[in-house]
Chains A and B, each alone.
Chain A
Amino acid sequence: QKEVEQDPGPLSVPEGAIVSLNCTYSNSAFQYFMWYRQYSRKGPELLMYTYSSGNKEDGRFTAQVDKSSKYISLFIRDSQPSDSATYLCAMSAGNNDMRFGAGTRLTVKP
Chain B
Amino acid sequence: ETGVTQSPTHLIKTRGQQVTLRCSSQSGHNTVSWYQQALGQGPQFIFQYYREEENGRGNFPPRFSGLQFPNYSSELNVNALELDDSALYLCASSLPGGTGELFFGEGSRLTVL
The reply to whether A51 and B33 form a contact with Cβ atoms under 8 Å apart is no
The reply to whether A102 and B103 form a contact with Cβ atoms under 8 Å apart is no
Whether a CB of chain B sits under 8 angstroms from the CB of A100 is yes
How many B residues touch the partner, as a band?
20 to 34
**Chain B 21-48 residues near chain A, CB threshold 8 A:** 31, 33, 35, 40-45, 48
The reply to whether B99 and A45 form a contact with Cβ atoms under 8 Å apart is no
Whether a CB of chain B sits under 8 angstroms from the CB of A68 is no
Whether a CB of chain A sits under 8 angstroms from the CB of B102 is yes
Q: Which residues of A contact B20 (CB under 8 A)?
A: none
Cβ-defined partner of A46 (8 Å) among B44, B102, B105: B102
Cβ-defined partner of A97 (8 Å) among B31, B45, B105, B109: B45
Q: Which residues of B contact A103 (CB under 8 A)?
A: 40-42
A102-B40, A103-B42 are known contacts. Are A43 and B105 too (CB-CB below 8 A)? yes
**Stretch from A14-22, A77-85, A88-96 that touches the partner:** A88-96
The reply to whether A100 and B44 form a contact with Cβ atoms under 8 Å apart is yes
Given A32-B99, A45-B104, A92-B100, list of 20 further CB < 8 A pairs? A6-B42, A32-B100, A34-B100, A42-B106, A43-B4, A43-B90, A43-B92, A46-B101, A49-B100, A49-B101, A92-B98, A95-B56, A97-B45, A97-B58, A98-B100, A99-B45, A100-B35, A100-B42, A100-B43, A102-B42
**A interface residue numbers (CB < 8 A to B):** 4, 6, 8, 32, 34, 36, 41-46, 49, 51, 88, 90-92, 94-103
